[in-house]
Structure 1
């Protein structure tokens, strides 16, 4: 399918602004400038999220004695299953350098309201101030906190799904692997929106879609240069899940991929590895879409559709016993 016409018009505008010098490409900005731009664009590109019963700000302690912030969304209604409620532990995208609790507020509200379930959205620490593996450790610490302290918020530690978009999806995959390897209560499900999974960005989709499709090659490498301490970190499975030797006995996974996303091929490659390892894996490729389309509610109708699709899939994982591990 050709690129969605509304996306095409939007990308032409982005290109015109770059050529005129009105707005430089992200990789030409400082991290501080890029964060401000990313935050400002959120309110232009995405719709406000739906109302939920409550939003609670939470502080989670980390292994190094510091703490990170998180936001817990409680839906207005939940099925009368048990006293404790299922929860999605969510990590935002932004190449480990951008994004915060506000940039993905609409998406998290939607998933909480539509599933329905609680959503715990974690603001892991960002590069370059905090390079690899800080984001990974923060994600793992948030999962451990949820296992040990979630009950105080009415959350069911036996019904935790992990999820995220882009770099956040990578963090979610790492939790599934870590929980298995360290003998922690495993998540019941993974929801992975166009995750980063590969050591090098050299696939066919990276080459075909290197420029002009929202996520550009130069921007991606700019982000990874800020995040990684050296090229040696690239081969660490916590950065590149495709480097994981054993992907068996992991939580079922649901992939959201986009036809015009440079990350398409590596997302497909990771899904195929999971399938070959015996993991129940579903893949949904959205035709005509680009990277980060789930946050483009003011640009494409598919942003609303993907949220409903994710919610329907999460509901099955949370409320149907035969989908539990």
Structure 2
């Protein structure tokens, strides 16, 4: 009976994987069509926000998702499944010359899943990069940033450790953030296990992962500990209090809308006696810090069609005003989450390789 059940389960999984593979093939063939044809199939005219024209492939994907009509009620299960499906359809693959290994970080009282990436061209002087995926603190996994982490490892020539922090609402704030901070400290202290210099690590992430990374740099300063080697902040969420600018003009942008952001925060932040002004906590909104002086050098990347666009730029400007060395770039034609679309959107793949090259130059300039 057990054998029959297991055989049936394997068969169902095989059919599902085959179906997903077929869908991916069809989608990728469609995305190879010329831009004008894709635009004609996705509303007929280019999508322009704040003078920025959305990439035709992103427009086609967004139209394909939204034309299905009203979405089912947004639940954590539905959102997580949807994120993984989109990653399978549009995500890239492991870079040639990069090996990866799943592992568990044994921290005090808990284990955190992680995945390490080691490039064949690893520079023994290059510090370990600890990376945190996107997802509003509610969705996302090691898979959503798999391709990007391998691009970073190969381009920089450094090991990368991707951390699968706990998610809300099962584990509301500050559980995921605490995982991020503790895993960074663990990685810094165990860097030699990855063939990297001891006692130092860079930190990076996209969206919520960028939020965590910015907070980690500030938290190290508050604890009077050494700064990260580098901050890599990709379309970071730096404050939940912002309501103007791109928060309005990109409120309906795919895939991160204002409504979805509100849903994320409703799940991420606990309803408790911590107080109604939790958004003012620097461990939620790092942009509210009274001073950014003395923080690690930063690379800040934003996307043109993203509610978080303006706050990312503002954070880069605030860092620069505090005499922190900053590289800032906005990819005007791309949308939030573009790092997970490297397999289906060539402009997203180029952007990821470009930002990795910027990080590589920063590493070399600082002796890593």
Query: What TM-score does the superposition give when structure 1 sets the normalisation length?
Result: 0.91
CA 1:52 to 1:100, structure 2 compared with 1: closer, same or farther past 3 Å?
Answer: farther
1:295 aligns with 2:340: yes
Q: Could you list the per-position Cα deviations for residues 98-124 of structure 1 after superposition, in whole angstroms to 9, with x for gaps in the alignment?
A: 011112111111111222211100001
1:246 aligns with 2:291: yes
Gaps of 5+ in 2: 1-51
- Which residue, out of 139, 151, 156, partners 1:115? 156
- What is the alpha-carbon distance in structure 2 between the residues aligned to residue 261 and residue 150 of structure 1? 34
- Partner of 1:215 in structure 2? 256
CA 1:319 to 1:158, structure 2 compared with 1: closer, same or farther past 3 Å?
Answer: farther
- Partner of 1:141 in structure 2? 182
How many residues were matched structurally? 313
Q: Could you list the per-position Cα deviations for residues 127-178 of structure 1 after superposition, in whole angstroms to 9, with x for gaps in the alignment?
A: 0011111111111101110122222332224552110000000000111111
- What is the alpha-carbon distance in structure 2 between the residues aligned to residue 100 and residue 289 of structure 1? 22
- Partner of 1:71 in structure 2? 115
Query: Is the contact made by 2:156 and 2:363 (CA closer than 8 Å) also made in structure 1?
Result: no
1:272-287 equivalences under 5 Å are 272-287=317-332
Q: Could you list the per-position Cα deviations for residues 11-39 of structure 1 after superposition, in whole angstroms to 9, with x for gaps in the alignment?
A: 1111102x1x4xx26xx321122111111
**Higher mean Cα deviation, 294-303 or 166-175?**
294-303
1:154-303 equivalences under 5 Å are 154-157=195-198, 159-230=200-271, 231-303=276-348
Query: Is the contact made by 2:334 and 2:348 (CA closer than 8 Å) also made in structure 1?
Result: no
Query: Is the contact made by 1:194 and 1:255 (CA closer than 8 Å) also made in structure 2?
Result: yes
1:6 aligns with 2:57: yes
1:59 aligns with 2:59: no
- What is the alpha-carbon distance in structure 2 between the residues aligned to residue 100 and residue 199 of structure 1? 22
The alpha-carbon deviation at position 199 of structure 1 amounts to: 3.0
Query: What TM-score does the superposition give when structure 2 sets the normalisation length?
Result: 0.81
CA 1:212 to 1:265, structure 2 compared with 1: closer, same or farther past 3 Å?
Answer: closer
Query: Is the contact made by 1:52 and 1:73 (CA closer than 8 Å) also made in structure 2?
Result: no
Q: Could you list the per-position Cα deviations for residues 263-298 of structure 1 after superposition, in whole angstroms to 9, with x for gaps in the alignment?
A: 011111111111111111111011211111122124
**Higher mean Cα deviation, 45-54 or 116-125?**
45-54
Q: Which of structure 1's runs of 4+ aligned residues deviate more than 6 A?
A: none
Query: Is the contact made by 1:61 and 1:141 (CA closer than 8 Å) also made in structure 2?
Result: no
The alpha-carbon deviation at position 310 of structure 1 amounts to: 2.1
Please give the root-mean-square deviation of Cα atoms over the aligned residues, in Å.
1.8
The alpha-carbon deviation at position 57 of structure 1 amounts to: 2.2
- What is the alpha-carbon distance in structure 2 between the residues aligned to residue 188 and residue 302 of structure 1? 28
Gaps of 5+ in 1: none
CA radius of gyration, larger in: 2
